[in-house]
Amino acid sequence: MIRYGLQQEQTFRMVMTPELRQAITILQYSSADLMSYLHEQANENPVIDLTEIDMSCERISEGEEYSPRKSDNPVDLLDFVSNPADNLFGHLKAQLGLVRGLSKLQRMIATFLIGNLNEKGYLELDVNAAARILDVPAEEVENILALIQGFEPAGIAARSLEECLLLQLRYAGKVDVYMEEIVRHHMVNLSCNRIQKIADALGIDIRQVQQITDQIRKLNPCPGAVFAQYEHQYNIADISVVTSKNDYLVTVNDITVPRVGINPFYQRMLREQVVGDEKQFLHEKMNTALWLIHSLEQRRMTLMRVAQAIVDRQREFLEHGVHYLKPMTQKEIAEITGLHESTISRAVSNKYIQTPRGLFELRYFFTSALVSKDGDATSSESAKMRIKQIIDDEEKQKPFSDQAITELLTKEGLELSRRTVAKYREELGYLSSGKRKIF
């Protein structure tokens, strides 16, 4: 028989409030993202008062200390990031403007072709297709394309890798019969380092082929990619580590983020003047601003705790270099700081730390453990650096195979499988021994 009844029980559950969601979001932001976010919040909330750091040249030259205050002309650190307009299209258009004697139609064709280059600097559009779109003879398009291919950087506006390399060789005045033959018909053999096969096909000495292929490998297969650097995001250090009296001092870089305060005008209004709906509106905006200030302080303290724990754990790395990087997990840092592991994950996301050893992403320090013969733990990152050192120092005529590298590491007390060595080698960007060999 089924019996029905009521019973009361107490349970606990996390409620994701808008304020809590905001605090989590702020913790994940990098310095650059946080700057943008704070400006958005200030635009939406009149109660929020942003105070920029005054970094004017006059104050620096006078030796004044930095202090947060309102500035008539505050300096935004993002102003020092290169203008995205300095791209490949603008670079080639500027060169086109220096060419004299072109008709209006010819300049239009040239602009069209330049605009159809991909980010690597290649023309993916077929000449005949371009001629149909522009309603001009294909021969005219070919002539203008030849003109553009003479612009800087060398190799620009090519329609294939082979054409790109040949343009660069001709520009440098180095092309000869054998070079052109290798570029046109032996690129697959070259990529696989089959030098002997190329020498047999051309009927020349293998050393001559090696000299030619060395010159070809120095060419740039993506001449337009140099301009893609202007689209890269510049990394701003969120945390700094400096040496101080045989110790390491950890600080959060507040200079990159404007100070958030409460506008005194609206404070007075809330206390003295407004009533009804206006007071309710300002009260809500005031609470939002206060919670934002609280979230920023919480972010700063969390970053400080996490960074300090990482620095304490990785002191040997800071003192002696990457080979002393210890294996470390986010769970270990969570136990040290008393924070939840998910909080550690958010805190290290998109964050950079400036150390005496250079600028690193915080996630760089979290590496898996490899156990050596004597039982000591070594980080996977230090193992990679040892593999890099072995390959860099090897005899180029007799490069080490993955198995040989494995055996060398075993003798040093670090046992890795050949497959793991191959994986680390590929992650470091090195080819296999057969492709690294120089004849």
Q: Which two tokens stand for residue 302?
A: 């969390």
Between CA 384 and CA 416 the distance in angstroms is 11
The answer to whether 109 and 136 have CB atoms below 8 angstroms apart is: yes
pLDDT at 166: 92
Between CA 122 and CA 114 the distance in angstroms is 10
DSSP state of 222: -
Lowest-pLDDT range of 1-15, 70-84, 404-418: 70-84
Lowest-pLDDT range of 11-20, 153-162, 253-262: 11-20
Please, which residues have CB within 8 angstroms of residue 210's CB and are 6 or more apart in sequence? 195, 438, 439
- Asked if residue 14 has pLDDT above 70, the reply is no
- Asked if residue 76 has pLDDT above 80, the reply is no
- Of the chain, the end-to-end C-alpha distance in Å amounts to 90
Using a 10 angstrom Cβ sphere, with 0-12 exposed, 13-18 middle and 19 or more buried, the burial of residue 9 is exposed
pLDDT at 8: 63
pLDDT at 432: 83
- The pTM of the full predicted model, rounded to 2 decimals, is 0.54
- More confident: 226 or 233: 226
pLDDT band at 376 (very low <50, low <70, confident <90, very high): low
- Asked if residue 281 has pLDDT above 50, the reply is yes
- For 297-326, what is the mean pLDDT? 88
Neighbours of 371 (CB within 10 A): 12
The answer to whether 213 and 190 have CB atoms below 8 angstroms apart is: yes
Q: What is the pLDDT of residues 95-137, one digit of tens each?
A: 998 999 999 999 999 999 999 999 899 998 899 999 999 999 9
Crossing angle of the two packed helices 127-134 and 138-148, in degrees rounded to 10: 120
**Chain-centre distance of CA 121, in angstroms?**
21
- More confident: 51 or 347: 347
pLDDT at 227: 81
Average pLDDT score over the chain: 81
The answer to whether 179 and 165 have CB atoms below 8 angstroms apart is: no
The answer to whether 162 and 136 have CB atoms below 8 angstroms apart is: no
- Asked if residue 158 has pLDDT above 90, the reply is yes
- Asked if residue 161 has pLDDT above 60, the reply is yes
The answer to whether 365 and 325 have CB atoms below 8 angstroms apart is: yes
Between CA 279 and CA 288 the distance in angstroms is 14
Between CA 104 and CA 140 the distance in angstroms is 13
Fold of 370-436: Arc Repressor Mutant, subunit A (1.10.10)
pLDDT at 380: 74
Sequence ranges of the domains in the chain: 16-52+233-366, 88-227, 370-436
- For 200-226, what is the mean pLDDT? 89
- Asked if residue 77 has pLDDT above 50, the reply is no
- For 373-388, what is the mean pLDDT? 69
Main-chain dihedrals φ then ψ at residue 90, nearest 5 degrees: -65, -35
pLDDT at 154: 92
∠ CA 214-216-217, rounded to 5°: 65
